[in-house]
Amino acid sequence: MMRRIELARGQRLEAGDIPRSGGIDAEVLNVAARIIDDVRARGDEALRDYTEQFDHAEIAVFAVSEEEMTEALDLVGDDFKEAISAAATAIEDFHRRQVPQSWFTVEEGGIFLGQKVTPIARVGIYVPGGRACYPSSVLMNAIPAFVAGVEEVAMVVPPGPDGKVNAFTLAAAAEAGVTEIYKVGGAQAIAALAIGTASIPRVDKITGPGNAYVTAAKKLVMGEVGIDMLAGPSEVLILADETAEPAFVAIDLMAQAEHDPKAATYLVTTDPGLPDEVDEALEILLEDSSRADVIRRSLTDNGVVIICPDATAAIDTANFVAPEHLEVMMAEPLELLGSIRNAGAIFLGPWTPESVGDYVAGPNHVLPTGGTARFSSPLSVDDFLKKSSVLSYSLEGLEMDGPTVMTIAQAEGLEAHARAVGLRLAMAYGLGDDDDEEA
């Protein structure tokens, strides 16, 4: 079912061996650009037109009302409320450990330096919706923002054809403390958050994954507002040896593949017999899957099995792929952790399926995709903060560092930079401006 590659000793995986799109389709970018321009020109009127066109819903008022929130909470069961509350608690506990502090120090000569950490004032979070339901995405975006100290969190989510937002999504928003919710999705929602309309005030940063048009819109508005990342299709890589349980490997591949036909799945193993055992397990498990068609298409189109000669080659392969999710089903997985450099989230051992990370463990499930784990990190409290450098010099401090500043500035040909120091020193000692270089 999944394409197979067998690496010889000393052979390395190449970029063309793994199924990745390599960027955003140009036509998708063009469509997103036209939508953004239209929202910029027509505001709410454009939002209503696109919501009717794409979501088949007529929206008079975009903001979700208190009555709609109450109705949603009445519709979801107590089991869900308890589950979402437990997940929210775990996510908050994990992210509170990430909060950085401002710091300041006094150097010799009365030089005061430091870093001031400040929450972003207003953030927009995108939650996929419409036919789908992603209450977990509400928690993963909103809770770190509130932990960071963001005062205003505006959530956008596509409505269903009935003009309503999924009740589970709204219940998650209530649990997270989000009260500003708008019934709009797609590239038009990103445009509204970035530009602002009569109904939706603009934000300073946008976070949250969406479809290709949402990602394209985020790319286009980046600079007008901040964004978290450009998320692509989801992916998992399972590192496995002869100790791995084939059924566990198979179900975890399925758990990723059921997201989307474009989801990417990788099995990297040192056991040549394991892929056949996994295939047998897949066939059995797929018999009872309601999403078998999507899973088969994903595994066939975007699934790769890579058989490696040893554990070192397997880990090198995993680091090359730099997957969004990396599961380690090998003997003594904790001992391998230090060798893993590139992964959005690392799941160690047979009893740690990706599912626990998606929902309740606490770490964020908004993760770098498409190999960007080589240089990117999961969504965190840091994404909702900004840092300012703080500097304060005494005259003594300027006397100490001033000559160095002037030397470098003059080498760069920036005369006023040098004189900004020299003039101060000259005036401090009663010298004229012409004497500032000698000061």
CA distance 76 to 374: 40
- Of 60, 21, 22, 38, nearest to 217 by C-alpha is 38
**H/E element, 157:** strand 152-157
- Tell me whether strands 385-392 and 111-119 are parallel, antiparallel or unpaired: antiparallel
CA distances from 247 to 163, 252, 269, 328, 330 (A): 41, 9, 15, 15, 14
Of 235, 325, 327, 365, catalytic: 325
Q: Is 324 among the residues known to form the active site?
A: yes
The pair of three-digit structure tokens given for residue 140, joined into one six-digit string: 């993963």
- Of 350, 305, 310, 353, nearest to 332 by C-alpha is 350
Specify burial of residue 370 (Cβ count, 10 A radius: 0-12, 13-18, 19+).
Answer: buried
Of 324, 327, 354, 365, catalytic: 324
Who's near 168: CB < 8 A, 6+ residues apart?
A: 72, 76, 80, 133, 135
Who's near 303: CB < 8 A, 6+ residues apart?
A: 1, 2, 3, 253, 257, 264, 265, 266, 267
> Which position has the token pair 């897949």?
282
Q: Is 417 among the residues known to form the active site?
A: no
332: left (phi over 0), alpha (psi -120 to 50) or beta: left
The pair of three-digit structure tokens given for residue 436, joined into one six-digit string: 């500032």
CA distance 403 to 436: 11
CA 114 to chain centre: 28
CA atoms within 13 A on the CB side of 430: 0
Task: Supply the residues annotated as catalytic.
Answer: 324-325
